[in-house]
Amino acid sequence: MPIKLPWLKGVFPALVTPFVKKTEEVDEEAYRRLIRSCLPHVDGLVTSGTTGEFPYLSREEQRRLVEVALGEAGGKPVIAGCGASSTQEALALARDAKEAGAAAALIVTPYFLHPSDKGVYQHFYDIATGVDLPIILYNIPQVVDRYLPRTVVEDLADLPNIVALKDSSGNLTYTMELLEYVGDRIDILIGHDEVVLPALAGGVSGMILASAQVYPEVWQEVFRLVAEGRLEKARALQRGVQKLSRIFCRHGGGVAVKAALKMMGLDMGPPRKPLKGVGGALIHETRAEIRLELEKLGKIPVEEAVFEYPGGPLTERFGDLEITPEIIAAYGLRVGSGVAGEGLNKVQIDLIAGGKETPLGEAYALQLTYPLHGREALTTILEPALTVRPATLLLPRLPQKNLRQANMIYGPTQSALARAIVDALEEGRIPPTAVDDEVMIALATVHPRALDRHALYESVYAAATQALAQTFASENTADAPRFREISRNGGGRG
């Protein structure tokens, strides 16, 4: 019967392996810096795991990483990743780890060529009986392409030096099944960053996470709060790192983690080929999301975007449409503005409305025919086949420089504007006569680094509601007699 290890509790970072950029050699000094940065907040270290790119490391490199980690660990346990597809190689790595002084070996389910359940059992049995070292089973079906069968785990849990299982599946049903069947014999460790809180609440003993080298103090606090039964605060902490945890989980092999660490001043170099270069490249939008989330956590300084929200007289804010204050006055065009939200979610909506036969109608048609580069206008729709009335164009104030910015404008901004118009019409704040006879153009100023779609939606809705209220207020209603006089006299732009 296995004996649970008292030290196998808490937070363990699955360390990335730093490489020199040009030569791809292991950068031992960078490894030491990384360990020193997270050591005060962790209970141990894990080398050469999935995040550490173990398939790309030689046997000698993996042993050396254990030695370097032990030199920096200050007496805290070091778990050595000993992943290999063959039993012989995994056993050799485990023996190396034992000789180097590791506290345990992390052994992944055999991959690439998939043995039967009996073969999986035999793989772990041979390793467990072939080395005098605690063994942690490793379930990660995302890359192994199969689960470590629960029935096999039940049998393995009877071996004296099988002490734990790391579950990186993210499948809480599987995790809870393990706790039910073998949790009294071996420790279960969560290895999926997105489900730490529910796993801890369910009874796992600790965590081995890629993100634990980026924000280990958060996970240490979550671990403590769950142990104390303070789940509400623990939930808030988990939610605060959920997006970044999701990015790390979606971009395995340490690529996203290395990007985050570099932003924090810990340059771990690129991954090894074939992940190096285009093989593991992160798109600009993902890097921007990582940066913003690190800013929220206080890990890096806030990067300010240089731009201004429009100011000055409202009637002077429509020059991009070639609509001047004189035209607004002459044709009795309606204008309104609204501002809502704070920080990255601050939004300003400047709205102009008027008859289809006015210069505004011409501007509406021109924006669809000859769109401004990077600021293409979009017809406002509530559903794919439901155009809002009055017909409305959404025009970004700022050029959209990347897909993330465009997604914020043409996604939640457009949806919130449409909903605000529909609600205003249903509540009688837009006169029925405007539905078919007028058009509107909304100029939206959205922060270039906005990323929270839900918060942005709320800000746009509030700002658009304000703008609509001002636009269709009684004192802002077009002067119909004046408009008819201008029309008879052939008035227009210029």
Share the mean pLDDT of the chain: 92
Token representation of residue 47: 């080398």
pLDDT at 289: 87
Nearest to 282 by CA among 262, 297, 264, 305: 262
**pLDDT of 492 above 50:** no
What is the maximal distance between C-alpha atoms in the chain? 99
Q: Alpha carbon 330 to chain centroid distance?
A: 50
| Homologous superfamily of 10-296 | Aldolase class I (3.20.20.70)
pLDDT at 404: 76
Helix axes 117-130, 87-100, angle to 10 degrees: 30
- Every domain range in the chain assigned CATH 3.30.230.60: 314-488
- For residue range 122-172, list pLDDT tens digits in order: 999 999 999 999 999 999 999 999 999 999 999 999 999 999 999 999 999
pLDDT at 478: 42
Contact between residue 376 and residue 414 where contact means Cβ atoms under 8 Å apart: no
- pLDDT-derived band at 20, boundaries 50, 70, 90: very high
Answer whether CATH 3.40.50.10320 is correct for domain 314-488. no
3-state SS string for 371-405: CCCCCCCEECEEECCEECCCEEEEEECCCCCCHHH
| 32 vs 37: CA distance, rounded Å | 9
pLDDT at 1: 62
| 186 vs 189: CA distance, rounded Å | 10
- Whether 276 is catalytic is no
pLDDT at 107: 99
- pLDDT-derived band at 405, boundaries 50, 70, 90: confident
| 129 vs 156: CA distance, rounded Å | 11
Nearest to 294 by CA among 448, 451, 404: 451
| 77 vs 339: CA distance, rounded Å | 54
Name the active-site residue from 31, 56, 138, 457.
138
- pLDDT-derived band at 366, boundaries 50, 70, 90: very high
Contact between residue 209 and residue 219 where contact means Cβ atoms under 8 Å apart: yes
Mean pLDDT lowest for which of 300-309, 360-369, 397-406? 300-309
pLDDT at 407: 85
- For residue range 309-359, list pLDDT tens digits in order: 899 999 999 999 999 999 999 999 999 999 999 988 999 999 999 999 999
Which position has the token pair 């971009």?
Answer: 251
Which position has the token pair 């939004």?
Answer: 347
- Every domain range in the chain assigned CATH 3.20.20.70: 10-296
- Whether 331 is catalytic is no
Contact between residue 206 and residue 27 where contact means Cβ atoms under 8 Å apart: no
Name the active-site residue from 166, 331, 457, 461.
166
pLDDT at 486: 33
Strands 381-383 vs 378-379: parallel, antiparallel or unpaired: unpaired
Query: Mean pLDDT throughout 223-239?
Result: 98
